[in-house]
Structure 1
């Protein structure tokens, strides 16, 4: 069930009116939202609802045991081995479903090179939608309980809802327990500003996904990346820039709609994108792109590895390892590892450069933006290509002459517009919501309705799944 569909619209209206009819019964309200979230998830594959429940029970139990052990042995001492057990269990679940086939195939190829061919047990495993997101959610919960950053949830219901809440379930943002559990403890309230903000985010996300991302995907990016040898440099360059816009509009649209849907139900999610293509360095890019994941990698991987506490060399090694593992999180393929290594390697170069020149600005900001954007685009080629061979064909095609057969004025306008939106006022939607919060409800409803009808009129047929559903 995709957000920009009639089926989801009907589902959400039922959830919205039922949830607010239970606003004086917070326990029943949370139970209803949990059941609705399981129904939502079951529309992809009902069999994995059990996995979702089991994962929540696992993390609830481990966190409760950690809290009890900390209380018994002392605030700073307890729960060490338990948190290790909890993290390992979560990673085992993720590793089995997401990486089993990859490692078996790689192991088979490695054995074959040494003349030790073996028939390894290769299973056909279905990847549960959103497993990376709810697994990381569970890990952050048990680690934060161990660190004392959040108390254990008061009930199993809260942990289940934390991990299953349908707006962020399948593609994030990765909402921390310290942000969401306190909101579950109190009866939510819907203010006019929250309603205006939520509705505007939903409409804005709907436009980015169904108009910009879908049009670029179907009519430019997918055909060119399917067979790069059939196109010249202009079309291939347009497809690379088009994919940069497509993946931003696709993923940020999901985050916008998730934040907006949660707001309409009375809950606040953190911002997940902040105009990433205006970043002047790769470090800045990761502070603006998929913020919930980059902060997760920082807090639960980079910092435990040692962060920058042991000097420049150690910090470079740690950031490189973090980005390579971040690449592997995105998919079980060597192209994703290479994508992570590219981002990590560039950040290492940036750190060494800053250490050499200090605080002196040696490069104009706009040059940093241009260089960073094109490095990111180089990475997107690895990210989008099905194999290294296709990625190489795309790069070779950038030097091949040929007529532009795919690029049209409409596609060029969408690419330019998708990049230009990074130079809008940084909080444009919030500012508009602030202005509209005093408007009469009928006025707000008419404006939102007109915007939805306009998007519906100009968008192409059908709705493709969000790119990040595969992760």
Structure 2
């Protein structure tokens, strides 16, 4: 069940009216939202609803044991109690990673092991199972891990009930493709009866309309008419088509993923809940560190807080910082998929950030930090112009997108080699050019443009607001292509 479909529209209307009819019964409301979320997830594969339930029970149980130990040792004075809590959180994190590894990485690692032993002339039959990848498993697994770690760090109290943990991990707006909403953000909202303000409703509807446009018009048109054909057979196209396809994919993946985040935030707002912002005009970033402060913010902050900082961050000096950044980005690449191309994509982003750190150290401007993206600078103001930093960063990101989109290294190399093959463009049209230029230009709109528009419209009469939103949706329906492709990040 995809957001931009009639089926989801009917589902959401039923959920919306039923949920608000239970606004005085918060417990029943949460139970209804949980059942609705399981129904939503079951539309992909009902068998994996059991996985959702099992994962929630696991994290609720381990967090409860950690909290019980903390209650007996509020000052962390007992060394044995501290050791027990570390053991518990380690056990819980390991269990989450084993679940993720079994479904997402089992086949990849078995294939690599078979390839390795065959190189030594050994033939071994390892059990290669055909395991279906549950939609959104990376997102709800990371959410469970962050909940355990935050309870252990005393950054958030344990959930008051198993129902809250289940809803935290299963809430349908963010379930299959994020954002990764932390327990500290959502559990306090579950504790109180939600209220829908005029500002929240206006903002939510605008985000949904804007997301529909980005997904069904820009991302879908670029995918079908340009990106998919070129990346299917790069050798059949020349320089202009290949360059357009690379830029087009940069716009496509941004519009596709940010559209899902916008609609998720908007849908949650209409139900009375607030999600954090997940994108902040990433293609106007003037450094790779700045890019990761703006792109998929919930993931980059997760990698920072639960991987980079525990590794030591930048507290032990420049060399340690570079090593930790590289490890973080390699694992971030692996998180996106069980393929060497994703690992290479992570290595490229890690190497670029290491180069930025070394450059600042050479210029005497390195600042140790425990934050993966603390130095939000244009390589360094005063060293190169900001516009040049933006241009360099964008093209490094585009180089990475070739690895990200290509199914194999051979295909990625075919795209790069074809950049020097001059022949008449066959796919680039004025319409596609407008979509690419417009998709990039939206990064230079005023920051928080949708929020600003919502602020101006919140005092408008309800009828006027409804007509405006309706016209926007009808216009999107009129220009969108037939059908809706799954969101790119569903595969992760």
TM-score tier after normalising by the smaller chain length: over 0.9
Structure 2 partner of 1:26: 26
1:7 aligns with 2:13: no
In structure 1, the partner of 2:369 is none
**SS in structure 2 opposite 1:79?**
helix
Shift of 1:320: 0.4
Structure 1 CA distance, aligned partners of 2:74 and 2:466? 55
Q: CA deviation at 1:117?
A: 1.4
The alpha carbon displacement at 1:341 in A equals 0.3
Aligned mates of 1:72, 1:103 — CA distance in 2: 42
Aligned to 2:253: 247
- The one of 229, 237, 244 equivalent to 1:231 is 237
2:38 matched to which residue of 1?
A: 38
1:89-238 equivalences in 2 (<5 Å): 89-238=95-244
CA distance in 2, matches of 1:348, 1:11: 47
SS of residue in 2 equivalent to 1:87? helix
1:165 and 1:13 map into 2 onto residues whose CA distance is: 16
Answering whether residue 454 of structure 2 is matched by residue 433 of structure 1, we say: yes
SS at match of 2:105: helix
Q: Which residue of 2 aligns with 1:405?
A: 426
SS at match of 1:263: helix
Query: Matches of 1:202 and 1:179 in 2, distance apart?
Result: 21
Q: Report how far residue 12 of structure 1 moved.
A: 0.1
Q: Offset of 1:73 from its aligned partner?
A: 3.4
| RMSD of aligned Cα (Å) | 0.7
Per the alignment, residue 85 of structure 2 pairs with 79
Alignment partners' CA distance in 1, 2:185 and 2:41: 23
- The question of 1:328 aligning with 2:349 is answered no
User: Which whole-Å CA distance do the structure 2 matches of 1:64 and 1:399 have between them?
Assistant: 60
For residue 259 of structure 1, report the CA deviation from its aligned partner.
0.1
1:366 maps to what in 2?
A: 387
Provide the C-alpha distance between the structure 2 equivalents of 1:273 and 1:28, rounded to a whole number of angstroms: 33
Return the alpha-carbon distance in structure 2 between the equivalents of residues 417 and 34 of structure 1.
39
Which consecutive residues of structure 2, in runs of 5 or more, have no partner in the other structure?
A: 77-81, 366-379
Matches within 5 A, 1:54-69: 54-69=54-69
SS of 2:177's equivalent? Answer: coil
TM-score (norm 2): 0.95
1:68 and 1:82 mapped to 2: Cα distance?
11
- 1:71 is displaced (CA, Å) by 1.8
Q: Given the alignment of the two structures, is residue 384 of structure 1 paired with residue 405 of structure 2, yes or no?
A: yes
> What's the counterpart of residue 267 of structure 1?
273
Aligned to 1:418: 439
Cα distance in structure 1, aligned partners of 2:448 and 2:286: 19
Deviations 1:175-228 (A, max 9, x none): 000000000000000000000000000000000000000000000000000000
- How far residue 241 of structure 1 moved from its aligned partner, in angstroms, is 0.2
**Following the alignment from structure 2 to structure 1, what is the Cα–Cα distance between the partners of residues 431 and 141?**
40
Structure 1 Cα separation of the partners of residues 152 and 314 of structure 2 = 22
**CA displacement at 1:358 relative to structure 2:** 3.5
Q: Offset of 1:119 from its aligned partner?
A: 1.3
Deviation of 1:74 after TM superposition, in Å, equals 4.0
Moved over 3 A (4+): 73-76
Query: How is 1:286-301 mapped onto 2 (pairs within 5 angstroms)?
Result: 286-301=292-307
TM-score, normalised to structure 1, is: 0.99
Partner secondary structure for residue 237 of structure 1: helix
In structure 1, the residue matched to 2:372 is: none
